Chains A and B, each alone.
Chain A
């Protein structure tokens, strides 16, 4: 039972353009969402997060949008740079549960930004 899904295994974008990575979830109890970036043979690096009380959070080139009614979130990267090429994971937390801090991850999307 995949509670967090990233349906696009890969995405290819030209440098300078916008990258949009998508994530869907099924558990309506999730109320905190995160995006991580991962290079091969390294650990994931936290990028940006959003609480369910918001619908948008922005940090530099990265913006996360949350649509609670659709159980959908997306990460926008503008402008995309070759160094953004990595695997991106979305994750979700049920903060109302007893397991504080426990995250459920999607399968990841490989982003390739071409010069």
Chain B
């Protein structure tokens, strides 16, 4: 059954720590995306990747880093430089062409201890 898997569902981080959120897809999609959702706000794009070994900053990339070493994986690291990391993080993918919907995972909720 094809889809996007995000893990873990809930994640807690201590101040000053880096933490990595996992996103795996078996849809054979070329493009992958990371969004952040805060209460009462829409989804804001953090990073996206249209092909393996290439990625671009989105609208709110500061304090985050990504890698795209494999087509099916696009992990997001929330670094200690991100001053307000508590949020709901969503990963998405699509074929990367225009006029194609993105398909989302079920998200990871990150909280600061």
Determine if A43 and B106 form an interchain contact, defined as CB atoms under 8 angstroms apart.
Answer: yes
Determine if A44 and B98 form an interchain contact, defined as CB atoms under 8 angstroms apart.
Answer: no
Interface size on B, residues (CB 8 A): 33
Known contacts A45-B104, A93-B99, A100-B50: A106-B31 contact under CB 8 Å: no
Q: How far is the CA of A108 from the CA of B100 in the complex (A)?
A: 20
Within 8 A of A (CB), among B14-52: 31, 33, 35, 40-45, 48, 50
Q: State the majority secondary structure of interface residues on B.
A: strand
Q: How far is the CA of A101 from the CA of B100 in the complex (A)?
A: 6
Determine if B98 and A89 form an interchain contact, defined as CB atoms under 8 angstroms apart.
Answer: no
Q: Which of B92, B102, B107 is packed against the most chain A CB atoms within 10 Å?
A: B102
Determine if A46 and B42 form an interchain contact, defined as CB atoms under 8 angstroms apart.
Answer: no
* Cβ 8 A contact of B31, one of A36, A89, A101: A101
- The answer to whether A107 has its CB under 8 Å from any CB of chain B is yes
Known contacts A44-B90, A100-B96, A100-B97: A9-B40 contact under CB 8 Å: yes
Determine if B104 and A43 form an interchain contact, defined as CB atoms under 8 angstroms apart.
Answer: yes
Interface size on A, residues (CB 8 A): 29
- The answer to whether B68 has its CB under 8 Å from any CB of chain A is no
Determine if B102 and A46 form an interchain contact, defined as CB atoms under 8 angstroms apart.
Answer: yes
Sample of 7 further A-B pairs with CB below 8 A, known A41-B107, A42-B106: A32-B98, A41-B88, A46-B102, A100-B50, A100-B96, A103-B45, A105-B42
Chain A interface residues (CB < 8 Å from chain B): 4, 6, 9, 32, 34, 36, 41-46, 49, 51, 89, 91, 93, 95-96, 99-108
Chain B interface residues (CB < 8 Å from chain A): 4, 6, 31, 33, 35, 40-45, 48, 50, 56, 58, 88, 90, 92, 94-107, 109
